[in-house]
Structure 1
Amino acid sequence: MRDGSPDAAFTAGMYRHGGVVGLRASRHDLRASIQALTAYVRQCDASHVFTSVAVFFNTASPPHRDTQNENTPNLVLKLSSFSGGGLWIEDSCGSVERLVSGKPTLGKILNFQDGKLYVQAREKWHATEPWEGSRVVLVAYNLGCAAQLSADNRTDLCSLGFQPPRSVGDVASPPGDKPTILEVFSGTSRTAAAARRRGLEAHAFDHTLQPVKDVGTAIKSFRDAWLSMDQIRASMMQSVLQMVNERRALAAALAGAGASLLAIKLLLQSRPERFRQVPGVWLLGVLPETCYGKALTEKIAEWSDKYGEEGVFEYNLAGWRTVCCCSWEHAKVVLGLRPFKMERFSAFANVTSLATGSFFSEGERWKRERRILSPAFNAKNVESLIPAVQCVAEQLLQEIEKDVSAGKEVDLTELMPLYTADVICKTGLGHELNLLQARSPDLIDDMKVLADAVQTRMFAPFPYWKVPGLAPWIDDGDKMKKKFDQRAEETMKLANSGGKSITEKLRAMEGDKFTNRELLDNILVLLIAGTDTTSTALGWVFYHLSKDQALQKQVAEEVRSLPEGELSTEQMESLHMVRAVWLETLRTTGPAAFLCFENNEEFTLAGKRQPPGTQFTVPMQYLMMNDPEVKTKLGNDLRSYRPTRWLGPEGIIKHPPFDTLPFGHGPRICLGMRLAEYEGLLAIARVVQKFDFMPYEKPEPEKTLTFTANNPVEHITIRVRPRTW
């Protein structure tokens, strides 16, 4: 029936969980692929109404009905060559019998005609027929409740190429003429791509295509076929003809000005004593190779192996000489100059309108913010937040129980961010948003959009956000920032924690305290940083426990006798194996992949003079996986996952500073570390106490490294069952 290929699926567009609707997160990272899929659907049937698409690889569906759909037909399209593989559909006049819920049911076979077929999936039972070969199909379907989508989601759904019901799709275009973007020295044309996602016409020069890791070879092949050479030539000719108007000239001038600034920056830099240098292109250096910052983490690790035999090397990043300290011997020199002689690198100034607060501030401002914030995160106050964290942890257990009862795999990549976001909202704002209970990813999706805008601006060739009216066409950063502020203000008004939340404590302070603007800025940083980092680490914890059943058994035995109700920080610290698993996960897939700095006075590194204004990178995770000094303390097998390296005869061996390095170093270490550790350890203990993770037999999840986390490319989903003792 099949050729041995594994079952797999990819979905995009609108989702519906009961009465909750929204857009899937895949629209952020795989936008071009989704637009190619929807274009193919429209090419096959220009009038087809659909809000969602799914690609199925060798998936055999048993008899079922798509009860979440509207009563409009699904369109099923062949994307590969196979025989058979049509659909059986319920039909009282049919002659083909199938068992439906144990009862013989008459139906008929729908075969592909010209590579497509239609099925009334909501009202009729239907199932996949046997096939020969590799069966890859694209299904375009129309979910119910589309009218409940927000205006922003409706706009985005249409911009992706979906064709929702007419009443849903009528979305007004932004007022005024659309600017046109011309990006020179574009590398992988991140700015132009962002502009095109916003519906602008954008042109990129010096463009290099990079491999896109999405849903597989079948989609790539189909997309390449769809973009025929005739269409490409026509598009190029149209672009050339249209580039003669004044708006193109203005855009070219702006891009040229950005390139000129980079050239001037290079000429004005003083000549330091050099380390071994990573080759790059003129002017932009290695920036195009890093996909404009998106692949910087992977590239730094690659360069550290190739050029870092002396423990330090350098590269040119968009005109900035950047020194990478890939050994602890040199990294601790740079970190030791924090917080006043070594500050965050100047590209952070590009994002001050989107993200400020203690994480981004420096100098006297940082001293003041740290002084105000520190009491709210001390040991006593974290202890007072335990009831709130416990409440959210109980909801997490209930949500896992729902999935187990329904016979579904538990999607940890979906659940863990909702858990950590609910914890931050309840402890930080004093009111829970019940994201877990609603399974609502909207807040998480908004945070990803804001984080993407931050990264786009940090590595943009010119400051497009300073051009009046241009920023909204390139990214949604300002819009998301305003949305977060409004949401935080509304949530704080509903605070009901009796003065125990972080926000309430900060507002009740005597003497110098935050203005409302400063409070909102710091809460936003806490929400974004605390949600992504802890949730990703927890996802990897449960993955490792599923992979190593003996390790899971050890953890289960340790948490077996934990009492019901609240657990103190002291009780959590007594769980040595749980803590060892947490420390090892942070070491191998921790939140701080690398840190970037810039010195404000001259100093000597590895015997060479470093003038003020030099940028420095400290690849924290690379150090934890490779450094000789770390090997001396933790063993030579640093590239293996082995939690027992943190255990000694009397419990946990901390091995400072490496036990806390994922949270930073010295005076600038993460303020929320105590809270993050407690919510992480509590989730591990309670989940393993109640549930048994079945062996993980899928390929190892591929990682996408970011500034704050090691995110899996695909969701980590694991079969779980109730634990029996």
Structure 2
Amino acid sequence: MKTQFETTTDLQSLPLPPGIPILGNLLQLEATRLHLILEDWSRRYGDFYRLKVAARTALVVSDWRAVSEILRARPETFRRFSSIETVFGDMGISGVLSAEGEQWYRQRKLTMRAFDPGHLRNYFPSLVKITERLRQRWLRAAEQGESIDILADLMCYSLDVTAGLAFGSEINTIDGKDAALQKSLDMIFPAINRRLNTPFPYWRYFKLPSDHALDNNLRTLRDKVDTFIVQTRVRMNADSSLFDQPRNLIEAFVAVRDQPDSEFTDEDVYGNVFTTLLVGADSTANVFAWISYFLCEDYDVQAAVQAEAAAVLEDQTVLQDFGRISSLRYIEAVAQEAMRLKPSGPVVFLEAKCDTMVGHVSVAQGTPILALMRLGGLDSQNFPDPQRFDPKRWDGTSNHAEMGASAKRIVMPFGAGPRLCPGRYLALLQIKMLASMLGRNFIMERVDQVSIEERFKFTMEPVNLKVKLTKR
């Protein structure tokens, strides 16, 4: 791998946080605080250090240049942890998130097609409808003086949007329908995170109560996803043109699966439907929950969001014109700044596919690599006063030299390289719709001043974030 570093260091010569015999650092790696622990060690031991987990040695890297090189060298030189593929496989899930090699290439093409801007434009009327549904939910809460768990509402919103766009199926978790689907999805990422941090796959031999609960939730999800697939086949058999011109992700996968001599299986269809529901709902909801937190902390920023929303939406309660999405420039800057400080994916779990270099460090084939995504964005050399929430860094009005394309290369909220997040356009569209609806209709404040903690569950979410809305 090409590197910007001039010297070469062997992995075994890097600093190592003190651990205990045999287990190494294993007992120090608390699953829900993993990113915070790794970031703290990076501040102590540098941008490159190693971990020992039982018999394995891993490289931890936080230098944004090296992280960028790693991400851009996928999938040829680096891959996701092989254990991710194993954990997903044990859960009966095989989709583009965990796929590697040729399987990933095939599935990626179909996934990218489903989330391109053209499909988003066609889906926009449905997005307006779902956003209005959430506005009505929040309006009722405001009129009754209720506090809301905003992350839970955002998860429902994102799930409804993702199901509609990717599967052509309308669900309504915002109003409490399909609640079992949402409840089941809530368990998956914590279970994945827990199993990834377990050195021995004990669940293959015996199961704890949490594993039995996971199996029950996976069955619930399987039933729901199978229903989506059955409905899609009925729809496509009634209109054969959909095999040649599928309108969404699930139709594209079914069309390829049902071709003679197809390399895809029903499990591929199920796995991609499942992972799209899981990732699409979780990551966007977390990003906007953190945006909500920052709006509550800085009323000047909230007022600026309200002003832009009023100017763009005028007398509308929800944006109705897809063409005006690009006018929400300050809201996009708010999103970029929130993702700098609170990225949905603060750790990327990777593995070297061959003997190679990571920055100035030589690593052997199979070496686990933990890429820390946030610290480049918190470096004062890249962002002056880096702990301050300042959307002007991104809105074109800042005089800071580091702003613009270079800043996006440092922060990388959607990754980089060939495995750049295929749902990034949908995520930003949802964020703009939500922020403009919120700013146009409500004033938001925190219910109390308890500490808002970061919880890692493969993605990063806020804990204890309760808000109260007042109608404008």
Same fold per TM (> 0.5)?
Answer: yes
CA contact (8 A) 1:593 1:706 kept: no
**566, 586, 592: which is aligned to 2:339?**
586
1:307, CA displacement in angstroms? 0.7
CA contact (8 A) 2:96 2:107 kept: yes
Taking only the aligned residue pairs, the percentage that are identical comes to 22
SS in 2 for 1:438: coil
SS in 1 for 2:194: helix
**489, 493, 503: which is aligned to 2:226?**
489
Residue aligning to 1:451: 189
Residue aligning to 1:647: 395
Kindly tell me: are residues 719 and 453 of structure 1, through their superposed partners in 2, closer, same or farther at Cα, counting changes over 3 Å?
closer
Residue aligning to 1:705: 456
1:317, CA displacement in angstroms? 2.2
Residue aligning to 1:383: 121
1: CA distance, partners of 2:159 / 2:360: 46
Kindly tell me: are residues 349 and 554 of structure 1, through their superposed partners in 2, closer, same or farther at Cα, counting changes over 3 Å?
closer
Matches within 5 A, 1:229-628: 273-291=12-30, 293-308=31-46, 311-351=47-87, 352-354=89-91, 355-438=93-176, 441-467=179-205, 470-471=206-207, 473=209, 475=211, 476-494=213-231, 500-508=247-255, 514-561=264-311, 562=313, 564=316, 567-626=320-379, 628=381
**417, 420, 425: which is aligned to 1:669?**
420
**What is the letter of the counterpart of residue 350 of structure 2?**
F
**What is the letter of the counterpart of residue 314 of structure 1?**
R
1:504, CA displacement in angstroms? 2.6
**What is the letter of the counterpart of residue 459 of structure 1?**
N
2: CA distance, partners of 1:696 / 1:409: 7
1:294, CA displacement in angstroms? 3.4
Q: Does 1:722 align with 2:461?
A: no
**What is the letter of the counterpart of residue 354 of structure 2?**
E
Kindly tell me: are residues 691 and 514 of structure 1, through their superposed partners in 2, closer, same or farther at Cα, counting changes over 3 Å?
farther
2: CA distance, partners of 1:574 / 1:274: 51
TM-score, length-scaled by structure 2: 0.86
1:608, CA displacement in angstroms? 3.9
1:677, CA displacement in angstroms? 1.2
**What is the letter of the counterpart of residue 40 of structure 2?**
E
2: CA distance, partners of 1:571 / 1:683: 14
1:706, CA displacement in angstroms? 2.9
CA contact (8 A) 1:297 1:707 kept: no
Kindly tell me: are residues 720 and 277 of structure 1, through their superposed partners in 2, closer, same or farther at Cα, counting changes over 3 Å?
same
**What is the letter of the counterpart of residue 277 of structure 1?**
L
Kindly tell me: are residues 508 and 384 of structure 1, through their superposed partners in 2, closer, same or farther at Cα, counting changes over 3 Å?
farther
SS in 2 for 1:721: strand
1:332, CA displacement in angstroms? 2.7
1: CA distance, partners of 2:119 / 2:407: 24
SS in 2 for 1:718: strand
- Relative to total residues, which structure has the larger strand share, 1 or 2? 1
RMSD of the TM alignment (CA)?
2.7
1:318, CA displacement in angstroms? 3.2
SS in 2 for 1:693: strand
Residue aligning to 1:83: none
SS in 2 for 1:314: strand
**What is the letter of the counterpart of residue 68 of structure 2?**
K
**What is the letter of the counterpart of residue 84 of structure 2?**
F
2: CA distance, partners of 1:323 / 1:481: 33
CA contact (8 A) 2:80 2:349 kept: yes
1:492, CA displacement in angstroms? 4.4
SS in 1 for 2:57: strand
CA contact (8 A) 2:373 2:411 kept: no
2: CA distance, partners of 1:388 / 1:610: 48
CA contact (8 A) 1:569 1:678 kept: no
Q: Cα deviations across residues 474-500 of structure 1 (Å, max 9, x unaligned)? A: 513333223212111224445689964
TM-score, length-scaled by structure 1: 0.57
1:615, CA displacement in angstroms? 1.3
1: CA distance, partners of 2:142 / 2:396: 36
SS in 2 for 1:639: coil
1: CA distance, partners of 2:378 / 2:321: 32
Matches within 5 A, 1:193-208: none
Q: Cα deviations across residues 307-356 of structure 1 (Å, max 9, x unaligned)? A: 11xx2111112322111111113323322321111111222243122233
Matches within 5 A, 1:11-90: none
- Relative to total residues, which structure has the larger helix share, 1 or 2? 2
1:359, CA displacement in angstroms? 0.9
1:686, CA displacement in angstroms? 1.2
Residue aligning to 1:637: 385
SS in 1 for 2:274: helix
Higher RCO by CA contacts (8 Å cutoff, separation 6 or greater)? 2
Q: Cα deviations across residues 4-61 of structure 1 (Å, max 9, x unaligned)? A: xxxxxxxxxxxxxxxxxxxxxxxxxxxxxxxxxxxxxxxxxxxxxxxxxxxxxxxxxx
1: CA distance, partners of 2:424 / 2:177: 26
1: CA distance, partners of 2:122 / 2:219: 31
For structure 1, which runs of at least 5 residues remain unmatched after alignment? 1-270
For structure 2, which runs of at least 5 residues remain unmatched after alignment? 1-9, 237-241
CA contact (8 A) 1:580 1:644 kept: yes
Residue aligning to 2:4: none
CA contact (8 A) 1:273 1:609 kept: no
1:607, CA displacement in angstroms? 3.8
1:682, CA displacement in angstroms? 0.6
2: CA distance, partners of 1:693 / 1:506: 41
2: CA distance, partners of 1:575 / 1:658: 22
**What is the letter of the counterpart of residue 616 of structure 1?**
I
2: CA distance, partners of 1:424 / 1:347: 27
